[in-house]
Amino acid sequence: MKEYNAYTGDRRSVRDVLFLLGIAIALGLGLALVSPALGSALKQSADGDISGTITVAGGNAAGITVELRQRANNGADTLLATTTTDESGVYHFSRQNSAPNDAYYQVKVLGGKGTLAGWYSFPIIYLSGQNFSVPSIEMSDVALLSPKDGAQIGLPSKLIWQARRSGETFRVYVYNAADMGKPILDSGSLGMNSEYALLDGALAPGSYEAVIQVRDAVVGYGVSQSHFRFSVVANTGGAGTNAEPTPELDEGGAIPETQPATAPTAVPAVQPSGQPELDLHLSADKTEVQQGDTIIFRIEITNKGSVIAPDVVVTDQLPGGVTVDVTLAKSSV
């Protein structure tokens, strides 16, 4: 539990302050448990504008479909507007209303040929009349290296892919090929490592598909459109067999060859049962603050689940004019 003293340079109700400290939890496939709010207003204008740029393999991408969505704290998700990127890869949502106190805005990019399946920005705190710039989103798909599509493998083995941009982190979800509704293996955050070990006994003989979640701490998160499709065969007493790396993607794009490495043995072979369940509580000692006032607010997060929640990050987006007195900040952990 953390406690802060915050100083504000303008008049603002504590309800607004607390909303700006809102946390997005578990949005979309594989989203990490807590995500930061994005960006800040660039300037005031009569109409206001939420805008950003989409790239594919570093080049500006025209004709990409982008949605502006409103997601309420109770989970309700509403489509507000749809547009496409222009020849420069830029999209605009003009004349939007302020986000309600119990909801936030989010940009969703829809995938196409050779791109990720989709991308979600982090929550956007928006006030009518502002010009808001969403960080540039890279939509090129994840290049899958090994095993090749449709390969039969023995365990232990590895799923190996090619990293996209510096600083991105990855997570792997493995599904039964006949049921893509719920993953049977979840790697958890792998950091910037671009491989995932399938240890002996982790999967029974059968057919599987796996996808890669890509996450950027500033830009948001997406999931690969390319799938690892492979079959696990029973071992016959020898070392697991892994197919040679695929020479190209399903879409025909060339990728560099990489030989699979030996799987490490220090990682537990069995995933823990259950799942984390985070509960977030925000509170403050005042209902209104004026210029020069001090407000003390608390952020309390509790894991009520049956397993540890790894790599949890809580980020607070403070309103303009509010600063944190770090000398008085304290934590109970």
For residue 109, what is the domain's CATH number?
2.60.40.10
What is the span of the domain harbouring residue 7? 1-27+276-333
Residues in contact with 83: Cβ distance below 8 Å, sequence separation at least 6, in sequence order? 65, 66, 68, 91, 92, 93
Considering the domain architecture, whether residues 262 and 311 belong to the same structural domain is answered as no
pLDDT at 41: 39
CA–CA distances in Å: residue 214 to residues 56, 114, 137? 15, 15, 12
pLDDT at 303: 74
Considering the domain architecture, whether residues 171 and 246 belong to the same structural domain is answered as yes
Domain boundary among 256, 273, 290: 273
Domain count, the chain: 3
pLDDT at 294: 76
How many angstroms separate the CA atoms of 317 and 304, rounded? 25
Domain boundary among 124, 140, 156: 140
pLDDT at 160: 98
pLDDT at 116: 98
Considering the domain architecture, whether residues 64 and 157 belong to the same structural domain is answered as no
pTM for the structure as a whole: 0.61
Considering the domain architecture, whether residues 150 and 223 belong to the same structural domain is answered as yes
Considering the domain architecture, whether residues 231 and 280 belong to the same structural domain is answered as no
Considering the domain architecture, whether residues 289 and 259 belong to the same structural domain is answered as no
- CB atoms inside a 10 Å sphere around CB 282: 17
Considering the domain architecture, whether residues 285 and 266 belong to the same structural domain is answered as no
Angular region, 95: left φ>0, alpha ψ -120 to 50, beta rest: left
Chunked into runs of 10 residues, the chain (333 residues) has average pLDDT values of 42 39 34 40 62 96 97 94 97 95 96 95 94 96 97 97 96 95 96 97 96 96 97 70 39 35 41 61 63 72 67 65 63 55
Residue where the block lists tokens 């770090």: 326
Considering the domain architecture, whether residues 47 and 104 belong to the same structural domain is answered as yes
Domain boundary among 222, 249, 273: 273
Angular region, 20: left φ>0, alpha ψ -120 to 50, beta rest: alpha
Considering the domain architecture, whether residues 69 and 13 belong to the same structural domain is answered as no
Considering the domain architecture, whether residues 299 and 268 belong to the same structural domain is answered as no
Considering the domain architecture, whether residues 67 and 170 belong to the same structural domain is answered as no
DSSP letters along 231-286, please? EE----SSPPP-PPPPSB-TT--B----PPPPPPSSS-SSPPSS---EEEEEEES-
Considering the domain architecture, whether residues 134 and 145 belong to the same structural domain is answered as no
- CB atoms inside a 10 Å sphere around CB 245: 18
